Amino acid sequence: MDNKAIVKFCKEVGCCDICCLRYLGLKNPATYENYKEYIHKYTESGVEVENNSEEQQITSNSVDNINGNTDVNGCDDEPPKKKKKISICVSCFGILQEENWSECFNMVKETLEKKRYECSTFACALSAPIATLLRDKAIILHLSDAFKDYKEDTLTPLKEAWKWTFGVKLAAQIGMTLDSGAISPLLITLNMEYPDEPQELEILKQLSPSLFQERQKQRRKFTVEFTRPSVEQAMDKISLEQLKGVDKWNKIPSVDIEAKCVSAMCVHAPSYLGGRYIKLSRELPQTPWLIKGKRMMESSVQEIIFEPIAKVFDLTPEDVEHRLKFMSAGREDVDVRCLGDGRPFAIEITDPRRDLTGDELKRVCEEISKGGQVIVQKLMHVSRNELSELKKGEETKCKTYEALCIKLGNENPEPNILNGKTPVAVTEEDIRRINEYRNTEAEDEAKIVVKQRTPIRVLHRRPLLTRTRRIYDVVARRVPDYPQLFTLTIRTEAGTYVKEWCHGEFGRTTPSLRDAAGFRADILALDVTAVLLDWPRPQ
């Protein structure tokens, strides 16, 4: 291709220097960072020609002299300095013209000052007007007509050229290093709007009437008339002849007003913390417990863990609600303790100002634990990928429980505990029957396979289903000095309702402890003693 001829063509239709390089298909970031040097190579005279502002100024001064603008003493009046008028690029609407960047820089600076990020790098992104797609297409059609070997896929995307030019200048303005979004956690996004965009896109209704007639019929589905996908679809098969047939589009229309920056959004990638909590209270839900909008308990595991983290980041209660998210490998009931190494959990912190240091994480654990209800021995940074292991473990992990149970009576119509005869007591034979009970083959890993209907106590939030669950091991022991009581150490798969297995819940769980023991029993207290999931892993 004749690169000089293409640059000349782009200049004649009204493209800025950077857009000229875009239509050449140049994709080296250094080219755009030093665009003035590179455009110099492709201009016929070897002199930068954008806007001809210097030439216009010289001409203006010459006209003043011809008109006799001198003082009575023969000294020339110094002409007032006029702001150079910059022609707005017909392709990017001025987005790539350096003269229009100062307002964008200021908006980014103001946002960064408010958010106070402690980050040395950033990535940048551009939300460009949809109308730039139409402009790109129109210029490409004209280029393809003028230069037969010009290919439509030559064009370098606007967003890439913007990043390599504006992004580099922005880095110097804010004292940070420009990096890719895959590396830097801080993303700065500028939203640009072109005031005349709605009117300009109206021509697509003439070029692709069937598409927009169909969208008009489906207003509920397509609430916005022009979207990026719909515009791309409409332009897919447009020819130069079609475009020239539309009023004012026989050539590339000039632009009277540049695109404006309407917002600068700065967002830090979420930070994730992982740990295990030990719950020592039997009056503490895992998350805030509300029934019909009324709080049922004063606090929760989640709130106790969130409080010191909110202090470190200086978060308001509203911030906490929207920017902190609690995740865990399952949950225990309000009246169930979680002991041993605790239950794995994670916290997502949205748009953090920075990452917490090791010392800060240690102090957060101390603050959580000092109340005595919840203990977190260690918190560490985890990756987003590790969260999937946590959620997967919620369904696949095994748990060990310790249950304190009471023998209510033997298998007869009127239990001894109620008729005043010999007191009910747990016997060695009772213990033997429980420990030896199984309803599976000897070689099966699980001793007991149960079918459980959704417990009545959780029917308000879970569908009524019958679930099959596996109990891998059950060990019963008598409680010294308490003849009616016995303990059970139970190892189960995730999702087993241990309380319902112990008391049977009116036959909704089969088989239950009653089938194994040969007597009616109930559960008095339950503890989770081990959540068998290796998470989080030390780094």
Looking at the annotation, which residues are catalytic?
Answer: 333
Q: How many angstroms separate the CA atoms of 81 and 343, rounded?
A: 72
Between the alpha carbon of residue 436 and those of residues 87, 142, 431, 433, 493, the distances in Å are 90, 86, 9, 5, 19
Q: Are the C-beta atoms of residues 509 and 497 closer than 8 Å to each other?
A: yes
Residue 281: both structure tokens together? 């209270």
C-alpha closest to that of 329 among 538, 531, 491: 531
- Rounded Cα–Cα distance for residues 130 and 158 (Å): 11
Q: For residues 384 and 386, give the distance between their C-alpha atoms in angstroms, rounded to a whole number.
A: 5
State how far the Cα of 375 lies from the Cα of 275, in Å rounded to an integer.
10
CB contact set of 264 (below 8 Å; sequence gap of 6+): 104, 107, 108, 110, 111, 188, 189, 190, 191
Residue pair 415/314 in contact (Cβ under 8 Å)? The answer is no
The DSSP code sequence of 201-267 is HTTHHHHSHHHHHHHHHTTTT--SSS-HHHHHHHHTT--HHHHHTSTT-SSPPP-SS--EEEEEEEE
- Spatial distance between the Cα atoms of 96 and 91, rounded to a whole number of angstroms: 9
Q: Residue 76 has what DSSP assignment?
A: B
How does DSSP assign 328-363, residue by residue? ES----TT-EEEEEEEEEEEEESS-SSPPPHHHHHH
What span, in angstroms and rounded, lies between the C-alpha atoms of 162 and 159? 5
**Cα–Cα distance, 86 to 18 (Å, whole number):** 14
Closest CA to 371 of 322, 301, 421: 301
- The residues near 142 (Cβ < 8 Å, ≥ 6 apart) are 9, 13, 240, 251, 252
